[in-house]
Every structure is written in C-alpha cells, then in structure tokens.
Structure 1
Amino acid sequence: MNDSERPAPVVRTEKDGNSRAKVFAAFAATVLLTSFVAATYGFGFYLFAQIVPDMRRDLGFGYTAVGTITAAAQFGFLLFAMIGTWVSTRIGGGQVVIGSVALCGVCLVLIPLSDSIVVIGVLLTILGGTAASVYVPLVEIVGRVIDYRHRGKVLGLVSSGTSYGVFVNSMLVPNFVRDDNWRGLWYSVGFGTLMVTAVAAFTFHRLGLFRQEEEVRAESEGTAGEGVPDNSARAGWRMVLVRWVVIVWTMKFLNGFACMPFQNYLSPYLREGLGFDIGFAAQVWGAIGIIGMFAGFAVGWLSDRIGVRAALVMCYTLFFLSAAILVVAPVGFLPMVSGVLFALAFYPIYGLVPAYVSKSASGAAATVIFGITNVTQGLGGIAGNYTAGFLKNVTGDFMWYYVVIAVTAVVLALLTLQLPREGSAESAIGKRPTVPETGKQGAPSVS
C-alpha cells in the first residue's frame, strides 16, 4: 500500500478531551443530584409516612405525635433553607450539598436505633431540613457543570428525584414490613445514602465543585478584577430590588400555597368528599407517581427548546384544568384524568423555576435567589394547608379549596407572562461588562 493510500491518522485534540470531560461531568452531576433529591425527599420526607402504622405498633405513639412530627419537619425545611442559603454563599454549594446528604444518611441510620418517639421526631425534623439545604445550591452547581441549553432538562430530571425515592420505597417497604423489620428498612436506605455520599464526595472533588466558583473563574482568567461577573452573595441579597426576582419569589409562595394542599387533600377529597373507594384513590396516586418519574425530564427538555416561561405557562394551564375537573366534573374516570394532569404539571414546575434562575443568575447570587424561593414556598405550603383546613371546617367540603387552587393557577400563569425572557439583558443578574456594548438592543445589565 502506498503512503498516499493509507488512511490519515486520527488526531485527538485537547478540545476533544475537554468535550468528553464536560460530558462526563454533566452526566455525573445529573445522576448524583437526582439521587440526592431522591434520598432527602423520597426517604426523609415520605418513608416515615408509609410505615407509620408499623412503627406505632412497636413504639406505641399516637397520631398527635405524627402530626407534631410532620409540622416539625416543615419547620426544619424552612430553617435549613435559610441556613443553607447563608452557609452556601460562604463555604460553597458543593460542600453544603455533600454535608446535607451525609447528615441525611446519618439520621436515617440513627432512627432505628432509638425507641423514643421524641428522638425519632428530632431526627425526622433534621431530615426535613436536609431536603431544603440539599436543594438550595442546585442552581449554582448546575450553572457550573451543565451547558446553558441543557439546564432545563437536567433540573427537570432532578426535580423528579422525589418520585424515584418514593418508587424505591414502594419496592422496599412490602419486603421489610412483611417480616416486621421496619428498623432494617431505615438501615438499608441510610447506609445506601451514605455510600452514595462517599461516591459523590470523591466525584465533586475531582470536578472541582468544592472550590468557590469565583476562585475557579479568577484562576482561569488570571484576574479577579473588571469583567468578572459580580456573583457575590451581596449581589444576591440586593435582588429584592429586581422586579423579576420578586415575581419568582411570589410564584414560589403561590406554588406552595396551591400545589402542596392539592396533593395533601387529594385522597381525603376523593374518598370522603366524592365517595370513591381506597382502590381508586390508590390508582390515582400510582398514576401520579409513575408519570412524575418522567414528566420533569420531558417538560424540562421541552423548556430548553421553547423557553422556560412558555413551559411554565403550559404547566399552570394543566394545573388549572386538573383542579377544574375536581370542581366541575369529579365523576367516573375524570378524577384519574385530573391526577394525570396534576402529575404532568406538578413535578416539572419544581424544576422549571430553578432552571429559570440558573439561566438568569449564577454563583452565590443565584444561590441566594433560589434559597429564598424555598423559604417562600414553605411559607406558602403552611398558609395553603391552613386555608384548606379552614375552608373544610367552614363549608364542610374540600371542593372550595380546589376552586382556590384553580384561581391561583390562573394568577401564576399571568405572573409567568410578566417575567423577562431567561438569559436576556433584562433578566441577567450581577453582570459587570468591561466595555458597554453599543449597537445592540438592550442596555448592559448592572449589579
């Protein structure tokens, strides 16, 4: 064979290596972040609810204790959301995420070691807190390792992590409870969470996620001076003066106000208010869980193509239709349709809002903005659950709160339309360009 006939050698460039490294980093971060949400929400929030009868039989506590623990877990969520926001801006989001998941794993392992419902209640309160503190830094981490055009689908998948955790619970619970071994169940999910934490800590270290974003940027550019985005925590706290940030905080409050009571009172409404049997209610919840496992990613993928705002309006439209069915025509198979529409809207919403923030802000500023949204969401959930209970006591029917939910969904869609397009000059946070751009639409954004 002549030299001219030989195939040209494949030249592997540094660019190819960097591209593969970025793909690996994005894949690893997505899998780990999804598993963190599955552990802290799926195990911490929902496992106790599934095995309450078995724990009550052994430990002898009443439903007053169950209600107290549930309220305490919500308080823990609010407290850790605030603390997590403050700590993340000082030591970095990577450290807070790993620390939160590790604390979650430790609490899961400690629960079966105690026979005191007070001690178990304290541990469950901490577990409720880790669900918030692991979620707060997500926008910072995603902003560092995920390309802009993929953030919607990634955060959509991460937001569905709760469904994966609940799905794992549904497979494990029957096997352990059948043998009266609820303690072994806690040990299993606890040690599993700790193993994932160890893998995640090593991976985060290799990806440089334990370093502050500002340090990495300054090192790569050789300077920390002009031209570097002002992503400091101070920039984030100043966002109370930015219109779109206040809108996002208001939307998250209304999300908690409408979405949390929707699912909390769905089964009582179906069974006590509408007369459906427990089998049908279980089927509705099963459909919600299965759809939730895929809805976040699917709608997130769509949002990367049509825009986060358009995807949010679509979700709030589905949410409105879901509530309207339970008000206008909750008969026959239609409540199942309502459950399907709810699942298609509920799980993606919790990924689309952080996706919008991650595409409009970065670094500590994004952490502060998103951290406060978790606080407002928790306050909204408390207000919504109280309002739903109040309306039930006054009217004797859960239906009237679903009327409130339908109206709230319309308000949320209208608020979404007031948001600037993500990534536009109007929505950008904390940018200090070195040279003001001219000849383009829109003025350069300032801190």
Structure 2
Amino acid sequence: MAPETSPPTPRSRLVAAFVITALLTSFVAATYGFGFYLFAQIVTDMRKDLGFGYTVVGTVTASGQLGFLLFALLGTWLSTRVGGGQVTIGSAALCGLCLVLIPLTDSIVVIGVLLTIMGGTAASVYVPLVEIVGRTIDYEHRGKVLGLISSGTSYGVFVNSLLVPSFVGGGNWRGLWYCVGLGTLTSTAIAAFAFHRLGLFRSERNLEQAQDPQDAQDPGTPRTADRDDSARAGWRMVLVRWVVIVWVMKFLNGFACMPFQNYLSPYLREGLGFDIGFAAQVWGVIGVIGMFAGFAVGWLSDRIGVRTSLVLCYGMFFVSAVLLVVAPIGYLPMVSGILFALAFYPIYGLVPAYVSKTASGAAATVIFGVTNVTQGLGGIVGNYTAGFLKSWTGDFTWYYVVIAVTTLVLGALTLQLPHEGSPESAIGRTGPPPTSDKDLSHA
C-alpha cells in the first residue's frame, strides 16, 4: 500500500511551475545562447590567440550541427528509458563541463570536439521538455510556458552581449568561458535538487501514485502503466497522420528559419547595400523582441489555440520574407526583422506546446525528439540551398522567395492538424482531454 501523501496545493503547484519554467529557460539559454552563439561572437579573438583560419571555423560549425542531430536521436532514446529529468540534467551538466574545459586547452581540435558536444546538448536538453512540462505545468498554461522556454536563446545571447565587452575588451576570452560554464553548472545543481524534490527523476506512474494514492489503488482507474506509454509504442507514432505532418513542418521550419537568420546580415550589407550599423540595429531589435515574443504568443495560444497561433506566425513570417524581396528599402528591412522576431521565437515553442497538449509519456518524447532531428536536417538542406542559389544567381533574393513560398506551405500544413486536445489527436492517454483541475494536474 502506498504511503499517505497530501496532494499538492494550488500554491505549491504554482511555485513548482514557476521554478521549472525558470530552470528550463536557463538550460536553453545556456545550451543555445552559450553553446551555439558565444563561439561565433568571440571567434575573432580566439583566432588571433590560437591561430586558426575560417576553414576551421566552418568545419567546427558544421560539426556542431552534426552533434545536434546525433544527440537529438540519443536524447530521444535515453529519455524513453531512463527518464526525461535525468536526460535534461545530464545534458545541462555536460554543457557546463564543456564550457569550463574550452579555456583549458590551446588545441583547436579539442575545442572543436567540445563545441560539437555542446551543439549536441542543445538538442538533448530540449527533447524531454514536453514530458517535463506535461508533468508539472497545467494544461491551459503550457503554451505560454513553452513559448517562454523557446525564447531562452535570446536570454543567452543577451547575457553574452553584457559579458563579452568586459571580458574580451580586456583580452580575457578564456575568463568568459569560465564564467558562463560555472554559471551553467550552478544552475544545473539547483535544478537537480528541484527535480528531485518534485519527483521528476521518478517515472510518471510513481509520481501519480505519490500525488494521488487513492487513485493509484483503484483498479478501475486508468493509470500511467496502463496507457500507451512504452518506448515501442512511441516509435509507432510514424503511423499517425498528424505526427508525420508535425515532422514535415519542423523540417520546413529548419529549411526556412535558419537560413533566414544566417543570411540576413550578408543580404542587408552585401545584397542591399546597408551599412553595418543598420544591420546591427536590425539584429538588436530581433534580439530584444525575441526575449518577449515567445511568452506573448504562447500566452495567446492558450486562449485562441496553438493551430491559430501557428498560422498567425507563418503569416508574419511570409510578410517578413516578402518585404525583403519586393520592397527592401528605407526602414522596411527593420519592419521585416520585427515580423521575423515575432514569428521565429514563438514557432519553436508552439510546436512542442501542440505536442504536449495532444500526446503524453513516451509517445510525446519520441514525437518531439524526432522533430529536433527533422529540424536539424531542414537547416542543413536550407543553408546548402541558400548558398547554392547565391552562387548560381549572384543574389540572396531568390532564397527569400523560396522562404516566402515555404511559409505558405507551412500555413497549409498547420490547417491539416487536428485541434489540440481533440479525441482524434490524443496519443499516449485514454479518455477525453483534461478539463477538471484533477485532470489538469495529471495531464
């Protein structure tokens, strides 16, 4: 017989939700903001000190993408076996360790390996998010929470912008790596304690028994162990129509979003003739908006639906690309950047929000894990295609035409998805979508 355990109070659930949201956002800020983008910001200073060329920089960047793909698969496999909480904490700790180790070596090969591993942790820390959010956040708040978490990259880049001038200006790029690495490890230690207290290192079945032992003892009540919650069942999601649509959408997201971001500055400066000051202003506005856009659109999605919010984002993304093709004059590129930021950051929170509201357990983990793989593949194909079109036509414009068309396809695919929480979309759970407070606490 399970020991008597008091169910969590609304206040305790609110505190737990706030803590988990803050910690997961910090993990995304560390693995993406520090792992992916810090090297790009200080590569000039590291090159001068260590003496490597841009061929090496390109190789390291490509290997980081490869690490992302490999760890997305590995993280999915591990999450269905050892648990999402363990994978997230382990990934964050590994990222922090790599950040600390980088300044200890002068070997660019070793640095490249560490950066590749960090690129991988950006994927593996993200894969279990839908499981963790599904266990700790009430159903009606998951859109805004995942939207805020998806904006974590902006917070990491913002922290970089504050730290880089003081460290690099004094010729101490190594101290910068130590600073963000120790900060990441500290955040990970706090998160490990919080995860332990909240039971996130235990299986969902054990957590539900601890929260509601009466329900766990009732043989007539569906339990997590009785649900379609095995890893093997999760991998069978390839047979579900809406799941395949989500995977295709994530591929197209990578195909359109990543090159848009990567080639924006070269297009503004080389293709359109804007100076570096204006290009920096556009990027600054994108970064600031990105810090709030994910939460704002996520909040909206909890009220009007994830599908409607996705269509809204793809509409803004379409207009953003069209402006760069049809009227890239005056301050219109700045308007394009604003629309891009309003769409780009929320998209990466809305898709996991949709998954968390339509699937649970191992099925949700596998579905979202594969989306990270397809997104990475889309980014690789998109970046290659953009480079090819630039070489072939001599202009970046044509890829932004491709992006505009892709956003129309994404909008059409979104309309093919069933409404989140509807019976025909439910995977990994039995019965109707959660409606009562008790259902929401277990959703």
For the 8 Å contact 2:37–2:157, the answer to whether it is kept is yes
> What code does the residue aligned with 1:202 have?
F
For the 8 Å contact 1:218–1:224, the answer to whether it is kept is no
In the alignment, structure 1 residue 208 sits paired with structure 2 residue 203: no
Partner Cα separation in structure 1 for residue 122 and residue 220 of structure 2: 36
Q: Which residue of 2 aligns with 1:222?
A: 217
1:328-356 deviation line (CA, Å, top 9, x unaligned): 00000000000000000000000000000
TM-score between the two structures when normalised by the length of structure 2: 0.93
> What code does the residue aligned with 1:294 have?
F
CA apart distance, 1:214? 2.8
1:165-219 deviation line (CA, Å, top 9, x unaligned): 0000000000001110000000000001001111000000000000111332356
Partner Cα separation in structure 1 for residue 270 and residue 300 of structure 2: 38
Number of aligned residue pairs: give it. Answer: 421
> What code does the residue aligned with 1:346 have?
F
Q: 1:75-114, aligned counterparts within 5 Å?
A: 75-114=66-105
Q: Which residue of 2 aligns with 1:359?
A: 357
Q: Percent identity?
A: 79
Q: 1:381-396, aligned counterparts within 5 Å?
A: 381-396=379-394
Q: Which residue of 1 aligns with 2:333?
A: 335
1:357-411 deviation line (CA, Å, top 9, x unaligned): 0000111110000000000000000000000001011111000000000000000
Q: Which residue of 1 aligns with 2:3?
A: none
Q: 1:196-345, aligned counterparts within 5 Å?
A: 196-217=187-208, 220=213, 221-222=216-217, 227-228=222-223, 229-345=227-343
Q: Secondary structure in 2 aligned to 1:51?
A: helix
Partner Cα separation in structure 1 for residue 231 and residue 301 of structure 2: 28
CA apart distance, 1:225? 8.5
Specify which of 20, 35, 38 is matched with residue 11 of structure 2.
20
Unaligned runs of 5+ in 1: 1-13, 438-447
Q: Secondary structure in 2 aligned to 1:419?
A: coil
> What code does the residue aligned with 1:166 have?
V
1:136-175 deviation line (CA, Å, top 9, x unaligned): 0000000000000000000000000000000000000000
Partner Cα separation in structure 1 for residue 15 and residue 293 of structure 2: 24
For the 8 Å contact 2:80–2:365, the answer to whether it is kept is yes
For the 8 Å contact 2:100–2:178, the answer to whether it is kept is yes
> What code does the residue aligned with 2:251 have?
F
Q: Which residue of 2 aligns with 1:374?
A: 372
1:83-113 deviation line (CA, Å, top 9, x unaligned): 0000000000000000000000000000000
After the TM superposition, which of the residue ranges 109-118 and 215-224 deviates more from structure 2? Answer: 215-224
> What code does the residue aligned with 1:79 have?
L
What's the RMSD between the two structures over aligned residues?
A: 1.4
Indicate how the Cα distance of structure 1 residues 75 and 223 shifts in structure 2: closer, same or farther if over 3 A, else same: farther
Q: Secondary structure in 1 aligned to 2:381?
A: helix
Q: Which residue of 2 aligns with 1:5?
A: none
After the TM superposition, which of the residue ranges 239-248 and 212-221 deviates more from structure 2? Answer: 212-221
* Larger radius of gyration between Structure 1 and Structure 2: 1
Partner Cα separation in structure 1 for residue 232 and residue 46 of structure 2: 46
Partner Cα separation in structure 1 for residue 209 and residue 9 of structure 2: 19
Indicate how the Cα distance of structure 1 residues 62 and 224 shifts in structure 2: closer, same or farther if over 3 A, else same: farther
Q: Secondary structure in 1 aligned to 2:36?
A: coil
Unaligned runs of 5+ in 2: 1-5, 434-443
Partner Cα separation in structure 2 for residue 141 and residue 147 of structure 1: 11
Partner Cα separation in structure 2 for residue 349 and residue 263 of structure 1: 14
For the 8 Å contact 1:258–1:381, the answer to whether it is kept is yes
Partner Cα separation in structure 2 for residue 32 and residue 212 of structure 1: 20
Q: Secondary structure in 1 aligned to 2:429?
A: coil
For the 8 Å contact 1:357–1:370, the answer to whether it is kept is yes
Q: Which residue of 1 aligns with 2:162?
A: 171
Q: Which residue of 2 aligns with 1:441?
A: none
CA apart distance, 1:234? 1.8
Specify which of 36, 39, 53 is matched with residue 30 of structure 2.
39
Partner Cα separation in structure 1 for residue 119 and residue 39 of structure 2: 11
Partner Cα separation in structure 2 for residue 366 and residue 302 of structure 1: 23
CA apart distance, 1:119? 0.2
After the TM superposition, which of the residue ranges 17-26 and 152-161 deviates more from structure 2? Answer: 17-26
TM-score between the two structures when normalised by the length of structure 1: 0.92
Partner Cα separation in structure 1 for residue 415 and residue 335 of structure 2: 27
Partner Cα separation in structure 2 for residue 273 and residue 257 of structure 1: 21
CA apart distance, 1:222? 2.6
Partner Cα separation in structure 1 for residue 60 and residue 194 of structure 2: 34
For the 8 Å contact 1:44–1:128, the answer to whether it is kept is yes
> What code does the residue aligned with 1:186 have?
W
CA apart distance, 1:19? 1.2
